[in-house]
Structure 1
């Protein structure tokens, strides 16, 4: 009989009991589910070994099978995760790449928009390098440049643009090109018999927009027209009332709704291709000399909006904005909705408890100190993140995130989430959501619950005061960096907000750059 053991917070004995029960079920020939606990058992300090960190750009947790998604987007990664520990409730510190990664690799909160790791922070690669590791980093995201500080601590760091594009500034490498460039360097290190332990960081770009067509997965992941119809029915009614009531006919809506379905399917096929590539890479690393007890981690910098909610518009928004692909939020960067903040975190390897799901909320800043602890490396001073295997009994009271437009606090005891939009933005203000009954955060309760608003605003203010962030590039970005930000959908928000959807307004056909499938 399958057994799922729940344990109260801080109960290490019950957590270990859950592992024992699941192991016993496995010996009896049953196929047990993962043990579900609130905390993970303490992992003892051991000698350093190889560490492989996969960061998947723009990956939503809820589009992976291991997080309950029913479509076959991630079979390889699901199988790997089943042998490790999966964290079920993970918050990213920012809804776009540069600040999110600056926070993740420094293990520190950020309270303002920054474009690089803080200069006084000992980052993840530096900590491993100082512990005697060889450090290799490869990023397909062209914003994470060496000159911005993301290469600090790496013996070899490569975030160059694609050779396959005529645009040297704006072209991100697809995963096959990224690994084609990376593999000779990785192989040389792994095949050295006298090599030190290795820290390998790889950040893929897919499924970041534009969602390129991955035709090899069309049969497995077609457009789910029935699901799209069910998901968008309330939105269709809302926008019909909105636009027709103002004398704005819904011209072009039929093609817009079709484009949304196609865009969602393309996103999922990009996830599936990333799953294949990373699964193959794990096999290749194992066959080439990676340590048997190596630790793997899979995380994401942020998620993605897929046209699931309206974007607030001012009263005088132009009529051109009242199309589904413009008025529904797509991409990331500007908002702090669950779909852009809740990301995967999975660790596996001989040192990681197997078959475990941890329900206690964690944050991306916790990854860095956790990887250090798994390898017996002393953590530097000043980290806000926690070692997730330390068995700390007291959970954090809050989780914090920022975006291009505002900031967010989630009170973990009540599961209330407050978003404060900056006063200089198009639709400023405060929004409050009760996630216990509204996990998708669709019903704003700010006007109904002023005491909760006051308490959480005070928590935000205290957090900002305690965690001042200094951007190493505060004197300004050069023209290449600004152009890259603009191309990836972030640039206009550096100058001022505009009416419309996500980090960049979606065109009428969100996948027009590739043509129809």
Structure 2
């Protein structure tokens, strides 16, 4: 075989680096590198709004009345995790819904590419779990959201995968530990994923946290009450503070679940004479999306919103080997997390795009957010309660440096910034290969009925709209 000359080898390596596509041989940092034998532990909490956590700096509403994330002195509490790793202050996800967001996390693709644009559609792309399987990992998942059922596409590649509905959420951690026990005891490489449901609505915290709020027993924050807040915000506004308190108590509930799971996992490693959890694994803590909490329109939920309260998510990565701790303020795309972890790629982004199906878009750079309703649909995203509009202007611009919750639309004052971000969004969209909107990618009626859905996914907006405006249309509308 002909030997490559040294200068050609250097050129080839330089080309690989410039192409941003490191091969396993070139990679020196990721978990798939030949010299790395650590495990990967993923802990996600559904509907967890970053700005309600004490290690994120700002909150729009009154400060929480409870200690939501535990103490930094309590091992494996959320606060302790933040003290042990890197907290990403500007991490954004691709969508304000569970399956679209998590499918992006596990594929690195936008929802319009992987096809799971709704909780009622199937993922149409391979996930990083398959890569882990080829690398010899044993992968186990336990999830508490029924949208992540075995038909959704995320279960592919896992050795075990099961849903433990919110009513059985307290069992989720122990169930996952049981599934992983033999693999950890025999020092097999594992990837574990625990997805907790609290604080997703209905806001029903554990009694020990609700009791700290001293709320009357008749005050509840179920789907009926939260949807009524959206329908009649002025008449329901006197309940908003109590509903937010109950949401916060749900965060405290999820902190207990997370802390119990990770503490027991740490003990499991130690029982196998392998040292502690952080000696053996990279731990990632994150959320699929946040919650509006009536920032606008009396809307407490998440699926209709592309604003920062929903698509900005908590993200903590604890990598004891790297020794990195503290806060990173650079813009981060949550969907690129797995690629960074496994392949050692750079993690910061020039911009992040979030979308509802193929109809509503938001693009963010390090300072500004452009929200775009290209069809000028006055009803907004078709999500419960569907009889209430959630209005987006055709073009909205926000300066997150001065307006982190994106409440003051400054598009009219900054047409050049609107045009720049609009062009980036248009170019991004046209660089994507859209997944098909073939009805075969939707769940069948029987499966939907088993999961408790009554809506027909074919009635939702799919992937058939025209996408964002071109630069010319921005010019014409300004």
Task: Provide TM-score, normalisation by structure 1.
Answer: 0.67
1:409 aligns with 2:363: yes
Kept in 1, the 8 Å contact 2:143–2:162? The answer is yes
2:288 match: 301
**Aligned 8 A contact 1:61 1:343 in 2:** yes
Are 1:67 and 2:21 an aligned pair?
no
Task: Compare relative contact order (CA 8 Å, sep 6+) and give the higher one, 1 or 2.
Answer: 1
CA contact (8 A) 1:83 1:348 kept: yes
Contact 1:74–1:272 (Cα < 8 Å) also in 2:
yes
Partners of 1:305 and 1:331 within 8 A in 2: yes
Aligned-pair distance for 1:331? Answer: 0.6
Structure 1 residue 444, shift from structure 2 partner: 1.7
Give the superposition deviation at 1:474.
4.2
Higher mean C-alpha deviation, range 54-63 or range 174-183: 174-183
Partner residue of 2:430? Answer: 465
Out of 51, 57, 67, the residue aligned to residue 46 of structure 2 is 57
Question: Equivalences for 1:151-162 in 2 at 5 Å?
Answer: 151-159=155-163, 162=165
- Assess if the C-alpha contact under 8 Å between 2:30 and 2:36 holds in 1: no
Q: Does 1:132 align with 2:126?
A: no
- Picking from 264, 275, 286, the partner of 2:244 is 264
**Distance verdict in 2 for CA 1:127–1:447, change over 3 Å:** same
For the structure 1 residues 496 and 118, does the alpha-carbon distance in structure 2 shift closer, same or farther, using more than 3 Å as the test?
closer
Structure 1 regions of 5+ residues with no counterpart? 1-40, 163-171, 224-238, 244-249, 311-327, 375-385, 389-394, 498-517
Moved more, 443-452 or 358-367: 443-452
Cα drift, residue 417 of structure 1? 2.8
1:85 partnered with 2:86: yes
Query: Structure 1 pair 361/353, CA: closer, same or farther in 2 (3 Å)?
Result: farther
Deviation track 1:288-307 (CA, whole Å, cap 9, x = no partner) reads: 12753311100111111111
**Equivalent position of 2:74 in the other structure:** none
**Equivalent runs, 1:276-315 vs 2, <5 Å:** 276-289=256-269, 292-310=279-297
Report what 1:95 is aligned to.
96
The CA deviation at 1:286 is 1.1
Q: 2 CA distance for matches of 1:420 and 1:251?
A: 24
Select the residue among 321, 329, 335 that pairs with 1:365. Answer: 335
CA 1:371–1:480: 2 relative to 1, 3 Å: farther
Aligned-pair CA distance for 1:55 = 1.1
- Alignment equivalent of 1:337, drawn from 307, 311, 322: 307
- 1:218 maps onto 2:210 in alignment: yes
Other-structure match for 2:472: none
Q: Give the superposition deviation at 1:181.
A: 3.5
CA-CA distance at 1:74 after TM superposition:
0.3
3-state DSSP class of the match of 1:286?
A: helix
In the TM superposition, 1:377-396 aligns within 5 A as 386-388=345-347, 396=349
How far is 1:352 from its partner? 4.0
CA distance in 1, matches of 2:178, 2:416: 59
Distance 1:58 1:209, change over 3 A: same
Per-residue CA deviations over 1:258-310 (Å, capped at 9, x if unaligned) read 42222111111111111111111111011112753311100111111111212
Kept after mapping to 2: 8 A contact 1:483/1:491: no
Structure 1 residue 203: deviation in Å? 0.7
Q: Contact (CA 8 Å) 1:418, 1:453: kept in 2 or not?
A: no
Q: In the comparison of the two structures, how many residue pairs are matched?
A: 380
Q: 1:480 Cα shift?
A: 4.5
Contact 2:40 2:191 in 1 (8 A): yes
What CA deviation, in whole Å up to 9, does each residue of 1:41-90 have, x standing for no partner?
97895422121100111111111122136541002211122011111111
1:188 counterpart = 2:207:
no
**Distance apart, 1:398 and its partner CA:** 1.6
Contact 1:214–1:266 (CA<8 Å) still a contact in 2? no
Task: Name the Cα RMSD after superposition.
Answer: 3.1
Equivalent-residue separation in structure 2 for 1:481 and 1:421 (angstroms): 33
Q: Once the 2 structures are TM-superposed, how far is the Cα of residue 434 of structure 1 from its aligned partner?
A: 2.1
Does 2:394 correspond to 1:434?
Answer: no
CA contact (8 A) 2:370 2:422 kept: no
Shift of 1:401: 0.5
Matched, 1:495 2:459: yes
Q: Is contact 1:104–1:368 with CA below 8 Å preserved after alignment?
A: yes
The alignment status of 1:197 with 2:198, answered yes or no, reads no
Structure-1 separation of matches of 2:233 and 2:338:
50
Q: CA deviation at 1:397?
A: 2.6
Deviation at 1:481? 5.0
* C-alpha contact (below 8 Å) 1:305/1:329 kept by paired residues: yes
The Cα of 1:351 is off from its aligned counterpart by 2.2
Select the residue among 126, 129, 146 that pairs with 2:150: 146
SS in 2 for 1:440: coil
Aligned equivalents of 2:323, 2:88: Cα separation in 1: 12
The 1:474/1:99 distance shift into structure 2, 3 A limit, reads farther
Q: Which TM-score applies when normalising by structure 2?
A: 0.72
TM-superposed CA distance for 1:116, in Å, is 3.3
